[in-house]
Structure 1
């Protein structure tokens, strides 16, 4: 059962990366995994559900690594460098982000947008923001932990900084975090 689910997740990711969210079909994902549509529906309610699980799985892998890196340093400058390096790396690899935005737009058009999208990163973003808190003066963030990380993520995944404008996500994150740290 777990193997079937994993094969479906792997096939879905490959299909999404190859043909995009709207181009991928449940039948194609099922075929690529070597299963029937029935097997797909035994594990996932929709194409949107499988994409959300893929994205959540990626976030659940990345967040603890970033948190450990942040917690391993003792200076604000070192924390800013870690987060900026993370942002720079993310700005260069936007495949899943493009898929998520494509799915999000379709969900908005179809009226299927729900709290799953809002909750998708909430816990991870809060935990990352809390790991950053000790580096702010008086351990006071200028906004919620989730908002700090939302700013970093927005700069990391913005098409403006992914090469189109010549601005580097890492540099913009450094400038922003340093400015926010001076505000508190």
Structure 2
């Protein structure tokens, strides 16, 4: 595979069996975006399998089917790739949770949706294994730390703004940011890694139901 990725995709609508047509070519921007995404997917595989310290640019490029030159044409360093990979998956997973929560019709469905989403993360790249590495690297660079603080604040606020619907109209007893952080922290926390009998969904369900029930008794 070339460093610029394959540039041929799809078959035009209306093509008849037995005819030959020229498939549409990707634009330079589309090709670059596809290459970048494949590198991020491969980075997730290698980082979660080998850890930040054990992963190498060469191994990630090989996993994606590209040369090291293709890697450095998209990411200036291993650190930049690591943070981009983390952002790509963390933001994507939060957006998926928000989409599911938007479709939940009531409080019970909202809680069940959050629990199912958290348990489903077992089938995604396990970012929980990389949270400590991400935090350590961010603390070493104030600019990166500030950017990720804002990213997580925005993510938690978006999730929390959906979760407040578990409470009666009139407001939440918990700030939106903290409510979102609670669910995301449990989902990516260490408890379920260290104890086989615990699931993130169980813990999230317990926490949200306790908050809802306590608020309802006031």
Structure with a larger share of its residues in helix:
1
TM-align CA RMSD: 2.6
- Alignment-derived partner of residue 12 in structure 1: 43
Show CA shifts across 1:52-86 (max 9, x none).
Answer: 22222223332333223222233211111111222
Higher relative contact order, structure no. (Cα contacts within 8 Å, ≥ 6 residues apart): 1
Q: 1:18 to 1:74 in 2, by over 3 A?
A: closer
* 8 Å Cα contact 2:106-2:165 kept in structure 1: no
Where in structure 2 are there 5+ consecutive unaligned residues? Answer: 1-31
- Alignment-derived partner of residue 35 in structure 1: 67
Look at both structures and tell me which one has the larger radius of gyration over its CA atoms.
2
Taking the aligned partners of 2:35 and 2:101, their CA distance within structure 1 comes to 36
Taking the aligned partners of 2:165 and 2:107, their CA distance within structure 1 comes to 8
Show CA shifts across 1:138-158 (max 9, x none).
Answer: 342223322112111222233
- Alignment-derived partner of residue 135 in structure 1: 166
- Alignment-derived partner of residue 197 in structure 2: 166
Q: For residue 98 of structure 1, report the CA deviation from its aligned partner.
A: 0.8
TM-score normalized by structure 1? 0.80
Runs of 4+ in structure 1 deviating by more than 4 angstroms, as ranges, are 91-94
Q: For residue 18 of structure 1, report the CA deviation from its aligned partner.
A: 3.0
- Alignment-derived partner of residue 120 in structure 2: 89
Q: 1:142 to 1:92 in 2, by over 3 A?
A: farther
TM-score normalized by structure 2? 0.69
Where in structure 1 are there 5+ consecutive unaligned residues? Answer: none
Taking the aligned partners of 2:67 and 2:170, their CA distance within structure 1 comes to 52
